[in-house]
């Protein structure tokens, strides 16, 4: 079987994360993703989602559990997350949370990081922090060396911007880790499932 990196696209990760919340059909998935503004992170189309669902089913990461039809509505196939799907989701999240060279995938991983247990998420984010700190130190050393060699400032502006962004992410990451260390900060795959807002959102998406 292919590795999870080969199998999973960002849309695939989103689908697996949704099914971790419970069995659902693609129509509900689309409505939930749009309602949660996941279109900030990736392009959401019915065609792409249905294609993704088919690929995940062939890879045995999800499985069909029923077909229903109400009134004049078209048939809706409901899917469930398999054990392999759950394992691949967790593995992908761990890998992309620690990686600093794929920023678009990191945004997806961060959006779905609550699918990891608290200690698991913190461990991955600490690994990321160490890699970011190393990258930031190397960039600062490179800028200092370039200035000592009288490299024109006009060609260094992009490096300066990257240094500022890395420093800002490190400060944000420290803040997030501090919040995660506090038990009062809700976290985990089941932290919000019983809230009125969540239940209302799921009910609306099913209609």
Which tens digits make up the pLDDT trace of 4-53?
Answer: 445 699 999 999 999 999 999 999 999 999 999 999 999 999 999 999 99
> Under a CB-based contact definition with an 8 Å cutoff, are residues 77 and 107 in contact?
no
Give burial (CB, 10 Å; 0-12/13-18/19+) of 25: buried
Three-class DSSP category at 63: strand
Percent of the chain topping pLDDT 70: 94
- Residue 72 has a pLDDT of 67
- Residue 71 has a pLDDT of 61
Span of 8-17, 78-87, 197-206 with lowest mean pLDDT? 197-206
> Any idea what the Cα angle at residue 118 is, between residues 115 and 120, rounded to 5°?
80
> Under a CB-based contact definition with an 8 Å cutoff, are residues 199 and 32 in contact?
no
User: How many CB atoms are closer than 10 A to CB 48?
Assistant: 14
User: How many CB atoms are closer than 10 A to CB 168?
Assistant: 10
Percent of the chain topping pLDDT 90: 77
> Which are the contacts of 32, defined by CB distance < 8 A and separation ≥ 6?
18, 24, 201, 202, 205
Strands, DSSP E only, in the chain? 62-68, 76-81
Distance, in Å, from the CA atom of 76 to the CA atom of 108, rounded to the nearest integer, reads: 27
146 pLDDT band (50/70/90 cuts)? very high
Distance, in Å, from the CA atom of 123 to the CA atom of 131, rounded to the nearest integer, reads: 13
200 membership: H or E segment, kind and range: helix 196-206
- Residue 115 has a pLDDT of 95
For the chain, the domains span 4-86+190-206, 117-181
- Residue 38 has a pLDDT of 93
Name the more confident of 69 and 116: 116
| Average pLDDT along the chain | 91
Where does 4-86+190-206 sit in CATH, by number?
Answer: 1.10.10.10
**Is 60 exceeded by the pLDDT of residue 155?**
yes
């Amino acid at each position: 079987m292919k590795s999870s990196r080969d199998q999973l696209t960002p849309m695939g990760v989103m689908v697996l994360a949704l099914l971790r919340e419970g069995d659902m059909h693609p129509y509900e998935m689309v409505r939930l993703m749009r309602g949660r503004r996941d279109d900030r992170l990736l392009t959401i189309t019915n065609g792409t989602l249905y294609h993704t669902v088919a690929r995940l089913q062939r890879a045995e990461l999800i499985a069909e559990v029923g077909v229903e039809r109400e009134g004049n509505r078209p048939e809706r196939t409901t899917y469930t997350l398999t054990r392999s799907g759950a394992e691949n989701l967790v593995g992908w999240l761990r890998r992309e949370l620690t990686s600093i060279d794929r920023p678009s995938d990191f945004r997806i991983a961060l959006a779905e990081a609550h699918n990891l247990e608290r200690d698991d998420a913190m461990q991955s984010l600490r690994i990321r922090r160490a890699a970011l700190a190393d990258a930031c130190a190397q960039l600062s050393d490179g800028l200092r060396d370039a200035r000592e060699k009288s490299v024109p400032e006009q060609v260094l502006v992009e490096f300066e911007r990257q240094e500022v962004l890395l420093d800002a992410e490190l400060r944000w990451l420290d803040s997030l880790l501090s919040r995660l260390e506090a038990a009062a900060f809700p976290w985990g795959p089941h932290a919000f499932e019983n809230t009125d807002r969540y239940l209302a959102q799921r009910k609306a998406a099913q209609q």
